[in-house]
Amino acid sequence: MPVRAIRGATRLTADDPAEMTEAVVELVEAMLERNAMTAEDLVSMVFTATPDLVCMFPAAAARGLGLGDVPLICAQEIAVAGALSRVVRVMAHAHLERPRSEVVHVYLRGAEVLRQDLAQ
């Protein structure tokens, strides 16, 4: 079965652990649902957060979805002048039986402006 990359992003209103958890869970659940996947389909996930988000690791929030056996890692997004603030991005790698052109990328909570060509 092919491995596909699925992109997603969400934006927080504040650097707050409760909001981080809520936003990341919402994002990952939407990515799974919109691509008709389960956690079993996931190979790995890479999360990034903008430098203004330091309250917790986004991967820690995702672990609450029962992803204990899925390799997750976090990194800091590069600080580009004028870039959108308080953004968590994710790239999920998954076994997915659909063409790359049919993969549904998910952008929520104002992060849609990052990739208007992909956002639903």
What positions carry a catalytic annotation? 7, 63, 74, 77, 89, 107, 115
Pairwise CA distance, residues 39 & 68, whole Å: 10
48 within 8 A of 76, measured Cβ to Cβ: yes
